Amino acid sequence: MFTDHLQEQEMEIEALEAILMDEFKEIHSGESGLSTSNRCFQITLSPQDDDTDQATTTPVQLALVFSHTEKYPDEPPLLNVKSIRGIQTSDLKILKEKLEQEASENLGMAMIYTLVTSAKEWLSERYGQDAEAEDAEEEEAKDEVIIPHGEPVTLDTFMAWRERFEAELALERAKLMPESALTAPKEKRLSGRQWFESGRASAKGAAPVNEGSDEEDEEDIDFDDDDFEDDEEDMLEHYLAEKSDSSTHSSKRTA
């Protein structure tokens, strides 16, 4: 029976050497951390695929140390885990307990490669995700937040702009209207918009608006008729008052 155990152990070591290659090596029992004088072996694990060669740049790296007992695989192997790079002591304790539990569940069969696979999966889950999260945070930190400049548009600022715009537009229309339209009684007077829409502006020889000009853009804006009524009335009254004052001063100078 002892011969069968030893033969099975030797076959497992040969298989591990063939599969793991440079990641598998025999070490002295004094550096294994195990209480044994039997042959000891160390397997280096990283949270990455076996076919990658990035061990020198991996942020974390683990050493899984084992030694066959006399009756292995009918009894668990001696196990130890060590941090080569970046693994916390508390995590090593958790992993060792996990592997010892799995070893007790796989008695009767060669189990070292099963334990290697389990340790590598745990390493990837525990540290691989952390590394990805850190990378994501770094990328997010690199992204510049673009802060818009200028005065933000609010309802109050929009209404103030609209009032200025309507008043300026009414005044420009008033300047283009003939004297007869401006001096007519208020009840018969056409608003600037009504006068322009009636076609009298073109009939009186008003200057055409160049295509693409600001004036054309203003004419294309679709407002309700009542939008301009109050502003146009106020601006017309103001314009007429200015013209009246101007005429009075001219008459006095002539006299």
Round to whole Å and give the CA distance between 43 and 20.
Answer: 8
State residue 209's pLDDT score: 47
Q: Rounded to the nearest 10 degrees, how much is the dihedral formed by the CA atoms of 194, 166, 209, 206?
A: 50
* Single pTM value for the model: 0.50
State residue 3's pLDDT score: 73
Handedness of CA 223, 229, 234, 237 (dihedral sign): positive
Is residue 41 assigned to a domain? yes
Is residue 166 assigned to a domain? no
Tens digit of pLDDT at every position of the chain (255 positions): 567 899 999 999 999 999 999 999 999 999 999 999 999 999 999 886 544 454 445 688 999 999 999 999 999 999 999 999 999 999 999 999 999 999 999 999 999 999 999 999 999 888 875 555 555 566 665 555 555 566 677 878 878 878 888 888 877 776 666 666 556 565 555 555 665 566 555 554 444 545 444 444 444 545 455 554 555 566 666 666 666 666 555 555 555
Is residue 151 assigned to a domain? no
- Residue 64 makes CB contacts below 8 A (sequence gap 6+) with 42, 43, 45, 79, 80, 81, 99, 115, 116, 119
Round to whole Å and give the CA distance between 64 and 59.
Answer: 17
Angle ∠(100,104,109) on CA atoms, nearest 5? 115
Is residue 194 assigned to a domain? no
Instruction: Give the domain extent around 115.
Output: 5-127
State residue 116's pLDDT score: 95
State residue 238's pLDDT score: 63
Number of domains composing the chain: 1
Is residue 179 assigned to a domain? no
Establish how many alpha carbons lie within 13 A of residue 244's alpha carbon, considering only the half-sphere containing its beta carbon: 8
CATH of the domain at 42: 3.10.110.10
State residue 199's pLDDT score: 58
**Contact in structure between 164 and 172 (CB atoms under 8 Å):** no
34: left (phi over 0), alpha (psi -120 to 50) or beta: beta
Establish how many alpha carbons lie within 13 A of residue 225's alpha carbon, considering only the half-sphere containing its beta carbon: 7
Is residue 155 assigned to a domain? no
Residue 76 backbone dihedrals phi, psi, to 5 degrees: -65, 155
Is residue 137 assigned to a domain? no
State residue 78's pLDDT score: 96
Is residue 249 assigned to a domain? no
